[in-house]
Amino acid sequence: MELFSASTMPNRVEILKQKFANSVGLPFEELLPEGSITEVLEAEKVKYRNRLFNPIVTLWAFLSQVLDTDKSLQNAVSRIIAWLAAAGEAIPAADTGGYSKARKRLPEKFLLKLLGKTAQGLEKQTGSEDLWCDRHVKLCDGSTVIMSDTPKNQAEYPQHANQAPGCGFPIAKIVVMFSLATGAALEILIAPFRTGEVTLARQLYPKLTPGDILLADRAFGSYVDLVLVQQYSADAVFRKHQSRKSDFRRGKKLGIGDHIVTWSKPKRRPPGMSKEEFAELPNQVKVREVHLLIRQKGFRPKEIIVVTTLVDAKVYTKAKLAQLYQWRWQVEVDLRHVKTTLGMEMLRGKTPDMVRKEIYVHLMAYNLLRTVMWQAGRKAGVCPVRISLQGTRQHLGHFCPELYKVGAKKRLQLYNTLLTVVTDKLLPERPYRYEPRLKKQRPKPYGWMQQPRDFLKSQKAVA
């Protein structure tokens, strides 16, 4: 590997920082400037030597790697080599070892704090016209991700119990909290697959701020979760759990299919909650139950019951609650974007800490795209939700190489053009969209791996 003097290193670092800031970092100019990154590094007491892949360069390279369809380390290093070569600077070796080690040196807390900064900065840009009844709505849901099959990953995130040893992938449960107004990923928790989704989500409730509204599906519609959300001066809107019956002839009637009833504390302690935590819960809670009839063209009307702590029927009418719950599906779309559009379904990290870092950077990249969509929607006067995230990613990918080549004035013009083109083709309004979960393309006629790969290879060699 070619050696460089200390005098040439700062120049190359500054060139790379400028390239990244003028392309990938441009949408984050207000939310995540270099000064904010430095502040977090100092707060976390991260010390680093004068090297090419310092934390700031590594972060930008990591973000561009995640946004690219080719997520390989080699592709990221190749991009850096091309930039330095174009600037007439000495280029590093094409080996990926230096960049790989630099990613490992990035502390998890550093990435997690930066993720929070990108989300909070975007959330602060919302106005009353972007909120529901002048209140911030947070969406919460869970999913799973798989990762490289290594002993360390298997130890911390074991594969599914029904799979034979050596035939499955380590799997992790994730619970993410999104903003309804901006679509930004606000918080995330990661745990082994066997951890309950709701049990994990309850650790996110302290992240709610007074006045927030948490919107989630029927898995959350229990006494415990309604009470826990209220303890943080927030409100909840959940679909009622299927095991609980409703009788609209009882309680305080607010309208047809709308009443306030008193729920009593369950006798059985839920899984994942300690005896002390369960004992501190109140014995009763007032809950509003609302019967909603969801009409969808071509389908029979669907009846659901929503339970909420929003008991003021004059401010939070039945029609407004029906509209709000229909937006709950947005969290499913957001999770699909992170996993499928950005390719987070299968993570390449060989160790658990690297896997978590990949997840945090994927969510940061997702927030970057949401930032572009928010700015474009503001400029064009359209709802950011109707802007295609995949289209935004494609346009940003094509504009980035041009953004770092031009001067400041031309760069601003290019960026404004980017904001214009991402709103040229808006998504149609599809509140009742339904697509069957079926595959049309037939798979190749290969069987499933039911024995470890090494054993199968050895059997083939013997044969």
Q: Looking at the structure, tell me whether residues 339 and 276 fall in a common domain.
A: no
pLDDT of residue 71: 92
Cα–Cα distance between 52 and 12 in angstroms, integer? Answer: 7
Q: Looking at the structure, tell me whether residues 299 and 355 fall in a common domain.
A: no
Asked if the structure places residue 33 within a domain, the reply is yes
Interval 447-455 mean pLDDT: 84
Asked if the structure places residue 124 within a domain, the reply is no
Cα–Cα distance between 159 and 166 in angstroms, integer? Answer: 9
Of the residues 319, 351, 366, which one is the last residue of a structural domain? Answer: 319
The pTM for the full model equals: 0.91
Residue 238 β-bridge partners: 216, 307
Asked if the structure places residue 293 within a domain, the reply is yes
pLDDT of residue 305: 94
Query: Which residue's entry shows tokens 């998890």?
Result: 108
Query: Which residue's entry shows tokens 């939310």?
Result: 31
Return the structure tokens found at 410. 């031309």
Asked if the structure places residue 236 within a domain, the reply is no
Q: In this prediction, what percent of the chain has a pLDDT beyond 90?
A: 61
Which of 97, 71, 70, 93 minimizes the C-alpha distance to 80? 93
For residue 165, name the pLDDT band (cuts at 50, 70, 90). confident
The type of residue at 427 is L
pLDDT of residue 300: 66
Q: Looking at the structure, tell me whether residues 210 and 89 fall in a common domain.
A: no
pLDDT of residue 433: 63
Q: Looking at the structure, tell me whether residues 16 and 82 fall in a common domain.
A: yes
Q: With a cut of 50, say whether residue 3 has pLDDT above it.
A: no
Cα–Cα distance between 205 and 220 in angstroms, integer? Answer: 12
**Kind of pairing between the strands at 213-216 and 235-239:** parallel
Return the structure tokens found at 130. 């972007």
Asked if the structure places residue 459 within a domain, the reply is no
Residue 305 β-bridge partners: 291
Cα–Cα distance between 103 and 97 in angstroms, integer? Answer: 10
What does each C-alpha distance from 458 to 50, 245, 454 come to in angstroms?
48, 58, 6
Q: Looking at the structure, tell me whether residues 209 and 153 fall in a common domain.
A: yes
pLDDT of residue 31: 73
Q: Looking at the structure, tell me whether residues 13 and 98 fall in a common domain.
A: yes
403 close to 23: Cβ distance less than 8 angstroms: yes
The type of residue at 86 is A
Interval 399-415 mean pLDDT: 87
Of the residues 261, 296, 319, which one is the last residue of a structural domain? Answer: 319
Asked if the structure places residue 413 within a domain, the reply is no
Q: With a cut of 50, say whether residue 7 has pLDDT above it.
A: no
pLDDT of residue 435: 67
The type of residue at 393 is R
Query: Which residue's entry shows tokens 């799997």?
Result: 171
Cα–Cα distance between 176 and 330 in angstroms, integer? Answer: 13
Asked if the structure places residue 225 within a domain, the reply is no
Q: Looking at the structure, tell me whether residues 15 and 101 fall in a common domain.
A: yes
Interval 252-275 mean pLDDT: 92
pLDDT of residue 4: 42
CA 275 from centroid of its chain's CA atoms = 32
Cα–Cα distance between 317 and 314 in angstroms, integer? Answer: 6
338 close to 358: Cβ distance less than 8 angstroms: no
382 close to 426: Cβ distance less than 8 angstroms: yes
pLDDT of residue 5: 41
Interval 218-239 mean pLDDT: 95
Of the residues 295, 319, 343, which one is the last residue of a structural domain? Answer: 319
Cα–Cα distance between 295 and 153 in angstroms, integer? Answer: 45
Segment 127-163, tens digit of pLDDT: 999 999 999 999 999 999 999 999 999 999 999 998 8
Segment 10-49, tens digit of pLDDT: 688 888 888 788 777 777 777 778 888 888 888 888 888 7
62 close to 24: Cβ distance less than 8 angstroms: no
For residue 459, name the pLDDT band (cuts at 50, 70, 90). confident
Q: Looking at the structure, tell me whether residues 13 and 99 fall in a common domain.
A: yes
Q: Looking at the structure, tell me whether residues 213 and 337 fall in a common domain.
A: yes
Segment 342-375, tens digit of pLDDT: 999 999 999 999 999 999 999 999 999 999 999 9
221 close to 241: Cβ distance less than 8 angstroms: yes
Q: Identify the domain containing residue 252 by its residue range.
A: 242-319
Q: Looking at the structure, tell me whether residues 209 and 334 fall in a common domain.
A: yes
Range scoring the smallest mean pLDDT among 104-108, 373-377, 436-440? 436-440
Asked if the structure places residue 52 within a domain, the reply is yes
For residue 214, name the pLDDT band (cuts at 50, 70, 90). very high
pLDDT of residue 84: 85
Which of 89, 102, 74, 64 minimizes the C-alpha distance to 9? 89
The type of residue at 200 is L
The per-residue DSSP string of 353-368 comes to HHHHHHHHHHHHHHHH
Which of 254, 319, 260 minimizes the C-alpha distance to 287? 260
Q: Is 220 helix (H, G, I), strand (E, B) or coil?
A: helix
Please state the domain count of the chain. Answer: 3
269 close to 275: Cβ distance less than 8 angstroms: yes
Q: With a cut of 70, say whether residue 336 has pLDDT above it.
A: yes
367 close to 115: Cβ distance less than 8 angstroms: yes
Q: Looking at the structure, tell me whether residues 304 and 366 fall in a common domain.
A: no
pLDDT of residue 234: 97
262 close to 324: Cβ distance less than 8 angstroms: no
277 close to 271: Cβ distance less than 8 angstroms: no
Q: Looking at the structure, tell me whether residues 312 and 343 fall in a common domain.
A: no
Which of 216, 230, 204 minimizes the C-alpha distance to 141? 216
